[in-house]
Each structure stands twice: as structure tokens, then as C-alpha cells.
A = this chain, B = another copy of it.
Amino acid sequence: MLHGKVLVAQGGGPTAVINQSMVGAVLESRKFRNVDLVYGAHHGVRGIINEDFLDLTQETSHNLEMVAQTPSSALGSTRDKPDRKYCHEIFEVLRAHGIAYFFYIGGNDSSDTVRIVSEEAKAADYPLRCIHIPKTIDNDLVLNDHTPGFPSAARFVAQAFMGVNLDNAALRGVYLAVVMGRHAGFLTAASALGKKFPEDGPHLIYIPERTFRVESFLADVKAAYDKHGRCVVAISEGVHDEKGTPIVTTLSKATEKDAHGNIQLSGTGALSDLLCEEVKGKLGIKRVRGDTFGYLQRSFIGCVSDVDQREAREVGEKAVQFAMWGDQDGSVTIQRTGFYSVDYKLLPLASVAGKTRVMEDHFIAESGTDVTDAFRMYLRPLLGSGMPDAFRLRLNSVPRILKK
């Protein structure tokens, strides 16, 4: 076991439970006598470069527990992706502060950051344990059954679709909602869990794992509308044509890119608005409404899966235990061991870092616009306890008298 300080940081998009992982790592670290102090980096790796640390050893257990239950990244986050030079700067700071354990909570990009930092540490002969703690609402980390943050976001999406389905049933028309998900359709597919009766929406689900063709989309919407007198659609922000070009880029003038070269898909209603125009224009349906769930779905307070909270806490705790007792670098992964139970495994950073999982074929219905029962079985236990339920009136119709 290395002797020194612990540093915890949070990267990438916030989730509803990422603070559980942070607090799990902080409180578990404090149980080890080889740990002097526990620091938190303010705004991810950017905070390391800036020597912007909080001393979490001076925080109370009570407040840590309260923060654990608060969505979003309490330490702040960043989209920075360190290159070799950036990592060299990181070492200078870590060495100066005597940091021996680096825990970085994040998704694909963050895991790749941990991998580079780990390699740089080895190359610089600097003794450092680097552990990646998984987190992403996209659920797109390979070798994980699922990732913390996804279940709560999925719960939000399922509950949201329960509601908008009822709304659309009351005032009929076409309703479509754009859900987060650049490459993986898991979160959009979660909309299927909002469905109770066969007539309920979402009637159509579009995910990035299948090519999006505007003509097929219009034909699907027309068929569903003709059948139900209404139509509720869930669409991933990352839907793309056969060349892989996001549908949204064909319409938005400015295509903002982040440090990872990703085009901005969230924080704009463009995709939803364009598709609504298509439906209005081409199908002649009058009442067409589109929403973009946007940032609500990843940080809504008060719509959190208790299963997700528990697991997010455990990956934080396990990260510290793996680092201390296992004395090796790696990425903590979630493995499903029962219906429903999980266990955690430390895997090599290179096996997880920078890779993107997408929805497996057996989760996607043959139509390409629905999910399978296998997906419903997969997702349901993750949503946690106390899911709301929607009820409807029975159709005891009164015979017409005037029959006009």
C-alpha cells in the first residue's frame, strides 16, 4: 500500500448519483491509516492543473451524506481531455502535494483520461494508483452490465413518457421527445418502460443503433397515427443517416464541438423542431408537438433510483478497496449476478477506456422502432422501488340517443 494523500475528482456530464460515488470513495479512504488526507479536485483534471483542491477531510460526515443525495457533481466537472503535456502538468502538481491515489469518476472520456494519467505516471516513474470509477447516463461503458447514473436518468425518461403519453391521450396529436444519447440508445429505449397498456405511447422509438431515414419515420408516424388517432415518439439526439451524419447537423447552422471533437447535440431544440415541421408539412397532421428533455434528465432532483444510489455508492467504496488491497490500477465495473444483484470487478483501464458500448441487438425489436422483453427485463430492476403507476377509466360507453 502506498502512503500519501487521496485525490478524488469528477469528470464529464453530471448524474443524479455521481456524488454517491465521490462520498463512497472519500469515506472509505478515511478508514485507511496510510491515507494522510483526502482531497477533492475542483472541476476535474482542470482543478488539478490549477492546484484547486478542497480538503474533504475537513468536511463532516453528515454534510457528505447530504451531498451524496444531491444530484450533479459537487466537486464541479470539466470536459478537458488531457494529452501527454497536460498529464505532465498533472504530475507536477500531484508530486508537489504528495498524492498517491487518484480516483476519477466519469464516463468514456474520463476513463481514457485515467488511462493516460496512469501511463504517464508509470513513464515518469511516479508511484500513483489510478482508478476509474464508472459513471454515465448514456450507459455506454463496455464490460459493464450498466453504469451508475443511467438507472436514475432512465427512471426520469420512463416517468416523463408515462406523463406525456397521458397528456397526448387527452389532447390528441403527434408528440415527439428528443432524449440524450449520442451513440447509445439505452436512455431513449428506457421510454418503453413508461408504457403500461398496449395502446400507450411511446409508439415509436428511434435509437442511434439503427439508421434513421426521414421517409421511414414519416411512414411509421402515419401508421401509428392512423391506428391510435395519436402518436408518441421517443428519439435519441444522436440519430443519424446511413453515412453516420447526425440528423441534427443537416439543419443546424452552427455545429459547436467540444474538446473531444463531439458536436453539440444537447441544449438545443433543433432536432425536435425540424422533425415536427416534417410531420406537419408532409403528413398534414395539425397538432404536432415536440420537446427536448435536455438537462432535466440527468440532474432532476427527486426522481432518483434507490438501486442506482446504492450501486453508485458501492463503486466508490470498491474503488478504494481495489486500490488499497489490490494495489493495482484499473476501472471498476458492474457485473450482474442475479435477478436482481450485482458485484464489482476491477478491469484493466485499457479494456474499458475510450470504448463505446451500444445497445446489443437482442435488446432491439426487429422493427427497429421498439425494444424487446429482454430489454424490459434488463432495465426494470435498475429503476428501483416506488415507480409511479398510471391508471385509466374503463370504457363503459353510454349508448347514443340522437345518433347525429
A residues within 8 Å of B by Cβ? 10, 13-14, 39-40, 43, 51-56, 58-59, 63, 66-67, 69-79, 92-93, 96-97, 159-160, 162-164, 166-167, 169-172, 175, 177, 254, 256, 266-270, 272-273, 276-277, 280, 286, 288-296, 298-303, 388-398, 400-404
Contacts and interface: CB of A to CB of B under 8 A. Distances in A.
Contacts of A78: 171
A296 B294 CA distance: 11
Nearest to A252: B273
A298 B55 contact: no
A9 B177 CA distance: 28
A22 to B, nearest CB: 9
A392 B68 CA distance: 9
A402 B402 CA distance: 88
Contacts of A175: 267, 295
A404 to B, nearest CB: 7
Contact of A393 (B52, B67, B160, B389): B67
B163 A300 contact: yes
Given A54-B395, A269-B273, A289-B267, A162 B76 contact: no
A159 B10 CA distance: 23
A369 B200 CA distance: 41
Contacts of A298: 167
A85 to B, nearest CB: 14
Nearest to A270: B273
A53 B396 CA distance: 8
Contact of A163 (B277, B288, B301, B391): B301
B291 A71 contact: no
Given A171-B77, A398-B55, A40 B393 contact: yes
A111 to B, nearest CB: 18
Nearest to A60: B394
Nearest to A286: B256
Contacts of A272: 268-269
Contacts of A390: 70-71, 301
Given A54-B396, A70-B390, A164-B296, 10 more contacts: A51-B401, A59-B396, A67-B391, A71-B167, A72-B170, A76-B169, A76-B170, A163-B299, A164-B295, A268-B290
B295 A53 contact: no
B167 A295 contact: yes
A170 B268 contact: no
Question: Of A51, A294, A392, which is in contact with the most chain B CB atoms at under 10 Å from its CB?
Answer: A294
A303 B267 CA distance: 23
Contacts of A163: 71-72, 295-296, 299-301
Given A51-B401, A171-B13, A269-B269, A75 B303 contact: no
A359 to B, nearest CB: 24
Contact of A73 (B40, B170, B299): B170
A161 to B, nearest CB: 9
